[in-house]
Homo-oligomer: A and B are copies of this chain.
């Protein structure tokens, strides 16, 4: 590949000048600018990004770490992330946290070693305190998605999880349901804990006893939702089911159907996330819409702001929104 000195030779100028026309920094006479452009053309020269980044201390890159590559809104998030990075003129590097706090840390370090200008970390697994410490120590700005870190509200993007789960549960209660089962995500995840808390609080507020047998853990996949629902069906009876993930609701649909139960006539189902599929399920799934695009955009804007050394405001938690479709109705039996 042609290098900058090749261009220099051909255009008969110095490296400084070539750099100037490349980056539009400093004045260059029109004629020499043309000469440089021509040399670049004929040599098919492209600047070496590594060298540029090394010399300029900017890589124009922002790293994105996902806890893994499954989950309802992962596609949506990724799409918005590329869009946001694009708009900011940054290149996006996506990496996988392999669902493991240690691997997430590895990923962060890799991105730091690659001198990303900023990092966005969507972590389901790293404990809050560790995350805070990491952010404090890191030489690069890091934005944590899926967290509310009160110690550093300018570095975290969160959904008001408790109230969202509360809302869904309360809605079912208002329809007369009392036996409301729940398929949660792995309970060691902070997010899952918050949603469970909302679920519990809503029940208790109505004086409905929370039965632990009504709660089953899934893994945020369709099969795990299917299995969890089957276990629930074998164990308890319920007139409503809230799933902490639309994917798991999809699995639950199948399990219910296999038992000959109709939705919502026999069982009302509430999802979470408002995945693209939700509106097209049969019956269409009522769910909590998570403004994932907005959250992602905010995360990147904040990341870019911080990377530029600008002041960045604290970010309030985002609110979920109920989307009512066909999968929920008033209780018919109990």
Contact = CB atoms under 8 A, between A and B. Distances in A.
Contact of A78 (B46, B47, B69, B226): B69
Contacts of A277: 222, 250, 277
A313 interface: no
B93 A94 contact: yes
A276 B54 CA distance: 43
A297 interface: no
Given A48-B113, A113-B49, A280 B223 contact: yes
Given A46-B113, A250-B277, 16 more contacts: A48-B115, A49-B110, A50-B59, A50-B114, A69-B75, A69-B82, A70-B75, A82-B95, A82-B98, A91-B95, A91-B110, A92-B95, A92-B96, A94-B94, A221-B276, A251-B280
Interface in A58-75: 59, 68-70, 74-75
Interface string A25-49: 0000000000000000000001111
Nearest to A254: B280
Copy number in the complex reads: 2
Interface in A80-134: 82, 91-96, 98, 109-110, 112-115
9 contacts: A48-B115, A49-B115, A50-B114, A54-B54, A68-B79, A78-B96, A91-B114, A250-B277, A254-B282
A115 B50 CA distance: 7
Interface string A233-270: 00000000000000000110110010000000000000
Contact of A46 (B112, B221, B222, B250): B112
A314 interface: no
Nearest to A257: B282
B74 A70 contact: no
Contacts of A284: 254
A131 to B, nearest CB: 19
A219 interface: no
